[in-house]
Amino acid sequence: MSSISESLTPTIVIKPKSGWQLIDWKELIEYRDLFYFLIKRDVLAIYKQTVLGFTWAIIRPVFSMIVFSVVFGGLAKIPSDGIPYPIFSYVALIPWTYFAAAMNTSTQSLISGKGIFTKVYFPRLIIPLIPVLSKLVDFAIAFVILFGLMAWYGISPTKNLIFLPVLILMMMLTASGIGMWLSAMAIQYRDIPHGVGFLSQMLMYAAPVVWPLSLLEDKFGESVSLAYGIYPMVGVIEGFRSALLGHNPMPWVLIGIGALSAIVLFISGALYFKSKERIFVDVA
């Protein structure tokens, strides 16, 4: 009798899913404690046993601001919409530095984290999202210098400051979307990380970091600048300048176009990541 019951016992076969899959938000929420621990570990690991500690979060954008002010503002005489060039560039460098750091670290996340996800199961989607959240610490610290520069030049933030969370969310969606795309590619194609540095530089000069958007509009017209808004960081950077410096109205059209692009990047990046998730352990 027992042999009959054993033969009738169903056999469960666990196989990896293939193809494009939906994001399991419920599973991500269930692992929120692990998410928090890995973010905390990431933040502490960056500054552990460093002499200057969190000061590095200020040094990077400040040093870039000084170089840009000398080269582009002083020597090249690039216009800055009537704003002192140091603060004009620094306001753009705050979101850009965050975006570049989050994108670069997220791209490397699966390669550097293979010692974890090859040994125990948890939602792999957590891994490229960790830098997107941990880099917010540096982003917040960099604001200390910004308010000091604004006070030095006698500039007061505008009421549009309340829209900064929307711009920050756009910035995070863009970084995480590109990070998920590139991290899933990098674990399989190891030449991807070598090209990320070049991609980061190209994206920076393609964004209005060292030059104003008005320069593009004057030369090519408003229609070109609107098409340029498909690049989400354009709306983010111009939005930061408008909200903090108040030299121009909020570029809502650019922000709207960029927000749609950021959402598409995030969703497509997550779907692509999920579709490749079954091969990560094999190729790691």
> Rounded mean pLDDT of 61-70?
92
Judge whether 271 lies within some domain: yes
Tens of pLDDT, residue by residue over 72-92, are 988 888 988 889 999 999 999
Judge whether 111 lies within some domain: yes
Categorize the per-residue pLDDT at 229 as very low, low, confident or very high, splitting at 50, 70 and 90.
Answer: very high
Q: How far apart are CA 71 and CA 259, in angstroms?
A: 32
Q: How far apart are CA 114 and CA 239, in angstroms?
A: 38
The helix (run of H) or strand (run of E) holding residue 114 is helix 114-117
Between the two ends of the chain, the Cα-to-Cα distance in Å is: 47
Range of the structural domain that residue 251 is part of: 20-283
Phi, psi of 109 (to 5 degrees): -65, -45
Give 30-42 as a DSSP string.
Answer: HTHHHHHHHHHHH
Maximum Cα–Cα distance for the chain, whole Å?
Answer: 92
Exposure string over 19-46, b if 16+ CB within 10 A, otherwise e: eeeeeeeeebeebeeebeebbeebbeeb
Judge whether 13 lies within some domain: no
pLDDT (0 to 100) of residue 17: 54
Q: What is the mean pLDDT of the chain?
A: 86
Judge whether 262 lies within some domain: yes
- Does the pLDDT at position 25 exceed 80? no
Judge whether 120 lies within some domain: yes
pLDDT (0 to 100) of residue 179: 94
Categorize the per-residue pLDDT at 14 as very low, low, confident or very high, splitting at 50, 70 and 90.
Answer: very low
pLDDT (0 to 100) of residue 284: 58
Categorize the per-residue pLDDT at 171 as very low, low, confident or very high, splitting at 50, 70 and 90.
Answer: very high
Categorize the per-residue pLDDT at 29 as very low, low, confident or very high, splitting at 50, 70 and 90.
Answer: confident
Judge whether 10 lies within some domain: no
Exposure string over 128-160, b if 16+ CB within 10 A, otherwise e: bbbbbbbbbbbbeebeebbeebbeeeebeebee
Categorize the per-residue pLDDT at 49 as very low, low, confident or very high, splitting at 50, 70 and 90.
Answer: low
Q: Do the Cβ atoms of 138 and 57 come closer than 8 Å?
A: yes
> Rounded mean pLDDT of 129-142?
92
Domain count, the chain: 1
pLDDT (0 to 100) of residue 191: 83
Query: Which residue, 192, 190, 188, 164, is CA-closest to 178?
Result: 192
- Tokens for 39, please give them: 């973010």
pLDDT (0 to 100) of residue 93: 94
Judge whether 45 lies within some domain: yes
Higher pLDDT, 199 or 170: 170
Judge whether 244 lies within some domain: yes
